[in-house]
Structure 1
Amino acid sequence: MPSLQFAVLAALGLGAGASIIVQQALVANLRSALDSALWAVFVSYLGGLLTMALLLAATRQPLPNAAQIGASSWLSWAGGVFGVVYIAIAVAILPRLGAATTLALILTGQMLASVVIDHFGLFGVPRHPADLTRVGGIILLGAGVALVSR
């Protein structure tokens, strides 16, 4: 991969990572104002739904047809459930643990789940065996959580 292309993709990845903690902080603030984590998450997802609808309209994406919908796995449609679990938990723990510890825990959980998904080839992901290097990386992330949370 050319270095410029990697740099652009890496910058986008960093931006996506930064957006996770910004979203958590904003929804945690809304949680305090509304005195309800669930309503704060609802408002966050409603804003996301409206933004996605505008993006779909702006890019003129066609609606999926019945054949496309029928060809997809029912489990693929459950992704939003995991998004709600993620943001609801993050909003609940961020005010108690702080942004850095919350994100460190989330990142470690993501990496642990990613290695398991890769190792077993779950959800149609190509198999990448869990080796000592990957497991070592997770252990180092765990050490990072311990350091950040002090």
Structure 2
Amino acid sequence: MLGRSKHWLLGIAGGVLLALMTNYNSLLAKHTSSVFGSWVAHGIGAVAALLLVLVTARAFGAGGGERKEKRAKAPFWVYLGGIPGAFTVMLAAIAVNSSLELSGTIALMLVGQVLFGIVSDYFGLFGTPRRRLVLADFFVVLSVLTGSALIIFGGA
């Protein structure tokens, strides 16, 4: 049970960090431009990722010692993950500074993630196993869309 709750907490922490990132990037874009905000976000992210790699390599070993497994070569498209990330930062920075604000932007980002996840599962994109759509999938999309509409049009 503890292992599962750890994953839930990490997921929630990721959502909190996504909201903070979107907010800070939009503030930077408001004072400069969305492209500059994206460059800064990805530059800082690259430095942070490098530091994490160096710290974990030092803490857990560089991977060279006893275990020298032959690793499969990654397909070329896995290196393109930064492209959607850059567009996410830019589009979020633009949308947060609109009438949607932060909560509406994050709600619509969730809609996009759910819809793309369902499409990806159905077609087996990126090496994922194919899965048939079930009625529950439509209820999930309807629930997320309804919640997003309430957030955006509810007007608090």
Provide Cα deviations, 1:113-136, integer angstroms capped at 9, x if missing partner.
001111111101122222110121
C-alpha displacement at 1:31, in angstroms?
Answer: 1.2
For residue 28 of structure 2, give the secondary structure of its aligned residue in structure 1: helix
CA distance in 1, matches of 2:40, 2:138: 37
- Alignment-derived partner of residue 44 in structure 1: 41
Instruction: Structure 1: give runs of 5+ residues left out of the alignment.
Output: none
Match for 1:121: what amino acid? G
**Counterpart Cα distance in 2 of 1:104 and 1:56:** 31
The total of aligned residue pairs comes to: 143
Higher relative CO (Cα under 8 Å, sequence separation at least 6) belongs to 2
Which residue in the other structure is 1:132 paired with? 135
Question: Which residue of structure 2 aligns with residue 77 of structure 1?
Answer: 79
Shift of 1:112: 0.3
Q: Runs of 4 or more off by more than 4 Å in structure 1?
A: none
Whole-angstrom CA distance in 1 between matches of 2:30 and 2:140: 35
| TM-score between the two structures when normalised by the length of structure 2 | 0.85
Kindly name which structure, 1 or 2, has the bigger radius of gyration based on alpha carbons.
2
Alpha-carbon contact 1:25-1:99 (below 8 Å) kept: yes
The aligned residue for residue 108 of structure 2 is 105
The one-letter code sitting in structure 1 at the alignment partner of 2:114 is M
Question: Does structure 1 conserve the Cα–Cα contact (< 8 Å) formed by 2:30 and 2:97?
Answer: no
Superposed, 1:1-150 pairs within 5 Å as 3-33=1-31, 35-60=32-57, 61=62, 71-96=73-98, 97-150=100-153
- Name the structure where helix makes up a greater proportion of residues: 1
Query: Over the residues paired in the alignment, what is the CA RMSD in angstroms?
Result: 1.7
> How much does 1:50 deviate?
0.4
TM-score by length of 1: 0.89
Percent of aligned pairs with the same residue? 25
State the 1:26 CA deviation.
0.4
What amino acid sits opposite 1:114 in the alignment? G
Cα distance per residue 1:90-143 (max 9 Å; x no partner)? 111012111111110000100000011111111011222221101211111111
Contact 2:118-2:137 within 8 A present in 1 as well: yes
Kindly state the Cα deviation for residue 17 of structure 1 after the two structures are TM-superposed: 1.0
**CA positional deviation for 1:62:** 6.0
